Copies of this chain bind each other. A is one copy, B any other.
Amino acid sequence: MDSWTLGGLELRSRLILGTGGAHSLTALERAIEASGTELVTVALRRVDPGGSGGLLEVVQRAGVKLLPNTAGCFTATEAVKLAQLAREAFETDWVKLEVIGDERTLLPDAVELVAAAQRLVDDGFTVLPYTNDDPVLARRLADAGCVAVMPAGSPIGSGLGISNPHHIELIREAVSVPVILDAGIGTASDAALAMELGCDAVLLASAVTRAEDPAAMAEAMRYAVTAGRMAAAAGRIPRRYGRALASTPEAGRPDL
């Protein structure tokens, strides 16, 4: 049985779900179930830990681990403070670290991100940083003690897929912690590609929550991640330019 380890936790699912963009709690719950995920990330700004009902109950009922995130923070100071509040409220030291640099593209701010990651690691957190697709920055984050790196395939919510596959491969080579493709996934083939490029898992929100049929898309993503993972392990054929390789030789003993 294929499994992987993230921050000391053994997981079977290689899909991580975000909750942003969901039209209703019911739709979200069905999507979580259909996805087979074991880990769901929730924006701290969006939940009331002490409140009754709502998002948290959905997550608990689904029996998945909660991963609080710092979406909406623009500085290291803000993000660290929010993470500390979350630790207390949710009794988890896991945090998906987002430090955004730009309201328009929601791409991360490299400098603030590294500073925040270092402070949170030093403070005992299990840190999963959302980063851009920069191999050098990824290595810095891994060296700082983050348990994974989570590069963007393309801007959050854009559905543009993986704009620079080569950089994802370079990140895969640059770090030994898990690489989780985070942001930009639009459809199943994007998720499969992420795994083929060497990612350990895929995190997505809008692609599922804003799809016409979120539960169906969640299931599609589940299969896609499995397909990409298996294909990466199965040893694909090389790409051949300029000359086809007949599967049926013209002469001599056929190759079967």
Contacts and interface: CB of A to CB of B under 8 A. Distances in A.
Interface of A: 18-23, 25, 28, 43, 45-46, 55, 71-72, 101-111, 114, 132, 134-137, 139-140, 154-160, 163-164, 166-167, 169-170, 173-174, 186-193, 196, 205-207, 209-214, 216-217, 219-224, 226-231, 233-248, 250, 254-256
A136 B160 contact: no
A212 B234 CA distance: 6
B227 A211 contact: no
14 contacts: A20-B248, A20-B254, A55-B256, A107-B134, A111-B137, A134-B134, A155-B240, A159-B236, A192-B192, A209-B247, A212-B235, A213-B233, A217-B231, A219-B230
A202 B20 CA distance: 34
A239 B186 contact: yes
B21 A256 contact: yes
Contact of A254 (B46, B164, B226, B228): B46
Nearest to A194: B189
Contacts of A213: 233-235
A174 B102 contact: yes
B231 A136 contact: no
Given A169-B242, A254-B43, A255-B21, A247 B71 contact: yes
B220 A157 contact: no
A157 to B, nearest CB: 3
Nearest to A229: B220
Nearest to A207: B237
Contact of A170 (B105, B188, B247): B105
Given A110-B110, A159-B238, A196-B187, A105 B207 contact: no
A219 to B, nearest CB: 6
A23 to B, nearest CB: 8
B196 A105 contact: no
B159 A192 contact: no
Given A106-B246, A211-B236, 20 more contacts: A21-B256, A22-B256, A46-B254, A55-B256, A102-B174, A104-B173, A105-B244, A111-B114, A157-B244, A159-B240, A160-B166, A163-B163, A188-B224, A188-B227, A188-B230, A206-B237, A206-B245, A222-B227, A224-B224, A224-B227
